[in-house]
Amino acid sequence: SQQGEEDPQALSIQEGENATMNCSYKTSINNLQWYRQNSGRGLVHLILIRSNEREKHSGRLRVTLDTSKKSSSLLITASRAADTASYFCAPTYNQGGKLIFGQGTELSVKP
C-alpha cells in the first residue's frame, strides 16, 4: 500500500500541551507531506519534508523524518484550541505522482 499510517488515531490534550503524531510508510520515499483538515473542510498543506532532510520547522510545527525506520513525526508545540483538527500524512514515492492519504490522526485540544 502506498499510503502512510498515522498513529494514534485520536489524541486529546489540554491547551498548552504538546501534541505528537506519527506516520509510518512501507518503501523508500521522495518526500513526505503533512496536511490538516478542519471539520468538514478541504485539506490544508502544513509542511513538506524531503527524503534527505531530517527535521523541519514551521512556526509551532516540527516535523522529523527517520528514513531508516520509515517514519515521520509531527509535533505541535504549545497547542491551542484552534489546532483541533484531523492531521494526515502523505508519503510520495520515486515512481509515483499521486498523493495518497492515510486515515489521519484526530486531534482534540481542550481549552
Partner 1 sequence: NAGVTQTPKFQVLKTGQSMTLQCAQDMNHNSMYWYRQDPGMGLRLIYYSASEGTTDKGEVPNGYNVSRLNKREFSLRLESAAPSQTSVYFCASSPSKARLNTEAFFGQGTRLTVV
Interface ranges with partner 1 (CB under 8 A): 3, 30-31, 33, 35, 40-45, 48, 50, 88, 90, 92-104
Which residue, among 44, 38, 32, has the nearest Cα to 80 in the 3D structure?
38
> Given the complex with partner 1, which of 60 and 101 has the nearer CB atom?
101
> Given the complex with partner 1, which of 31 and 73 has the nearer CB atom?
31
> Given the complex with partner 1, which of 1 and 111 has the nearer CB atom?
1
| Rounded least distance, CB 12 to partner 1, Å | 16
| Rounded least distance, CB 105 to partner 1, Å | 10
What gap in Å lies between CA 45 and CA 17, rounded to an integer? 23
Burial class (CB in 10 A: 0-12, 13-18, 19+), 74: buried
| Rounded least distance, CB 16 to partner 1, Å | 28
What separation in angstroms does the CA of 101 have from each of 1, 23, 78?
A: 11, 11, 26
Question: DSSP assignment, residue 68?
Answer: T
> Given the complex with partner 1, which of 43 and 85 has the nearer CB atom?
43
